[in-house]
């Protein structure tokens, strides 16, 4: 009976290799740009956290814009990025932490689940930790649900995987 059901998973997983590539390209641009000549501006990564350091707030914002531009060019949605509060670092410098968000938070998963239930289609969904699985007998119903999820603007970047 499960064989006549079609499924797909809704996930929120950033491509960490592409994010690392964007980070490397941003650092390369920062070291070659004239307005950053003699600056200590840098971007460092430690797992899920990215740290941006610069002399002042203006240069820090420019470094972040360069990084965002590189992410955009690599088709990484900026919804994966969460900015922490800007802090003072040693020597009068400014520092800002950036967190890479992974997984669908429970409140967003419940909203998607409600959207699936209220769609009027013969589909069902199941929350599986930080992912969701959607089931239907007809492939057309699954595609309609994908359209509805895409049309709703959630604060996390969503992908559809394991489409069967």
Burial status of residue 67 (CB atoms within 10 A of its CB: 0-12, 13-18, 19 or more)? buried
Q: Rounded to the nearest 5°, which phi and psi values hold at 102?
A: -130, 150
CATH of the domain at 46: 3.30.70.990
State the pLDDT at residue 73: 93
How many domains is the chain built from? 2
State the pLDDT at residue 71: 93
For range 16-34, the mean pLDDT: 90
Rank 26-30, 116-120, 160-164 by mean pLDDT and report only the highest.
26-30
Same domain, 91 and 25: yes
Same domain, 29 and 41: yes
Mark which of 100, 124, 150 sits at the end of a domain: 100
pLDDT in tens, 123-144: 888 888 888 888 888 888 888 8
Only one residue has tokens 């969701």, namely: 132
Same domain, 38 and 89: yes
- Pair 10, 104: CB distance under 8 Å: yes
Which range of residues forms the domain containing residue 27? 16-100
pLDDT in tens, 37-81: 888 888 888 877 899 988 888 888 999 999 999 999 999 999 899
Helices (H) and strands (E) in the chain, counts: 4, 9
pLDDT in tens, 1-15: 445 788 888 898 888
Same domain, 90 and 111: no
Q: What percentage of the chain carries pLDDT values higher than 70?
A: 98
Same domain, 25 and 77: yes
Mark which of 100, 119, 141 sits at the end of a domain: 100
For range 103-131, the mean pLDDT: 87
State the pLDDT at residue 1: 41
């Amino acid at each position: 009976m499960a064989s006549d059901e079609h499924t797909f998973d809704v996930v929120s997983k950033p491509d960490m290799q592409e994010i690392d590539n964007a980070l490397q390209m941003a650092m390369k641009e920062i070291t070659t740009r004239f307005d950053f000549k003699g600056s200590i501006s840098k971007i460092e990564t430690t797992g899920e956290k990215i740290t941006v350091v610069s002399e002042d707030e203006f240069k820090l914002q420019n470094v972040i814009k360069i990084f965002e531009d590189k992410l955009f060019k690599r088709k990484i949605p900026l919804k994966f990025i969460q900015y922490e509060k800007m802090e003072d670092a040693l020597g009068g410098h400014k520092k800002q932490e950036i967190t890479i968000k992974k997984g669908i938070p429970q409140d967003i998963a419940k909203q998607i689940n409600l959207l699936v239930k209220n769609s009027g289609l013969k589909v069902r969904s199941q929350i599986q930790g930080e992912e969701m699985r959607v089931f239907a007998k007809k492939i057309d119903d699954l595609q309609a649900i994908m359209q509805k999820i895409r049309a709703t603007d959630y604060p996390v970047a969503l992908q559809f995987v394991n489409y069967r």
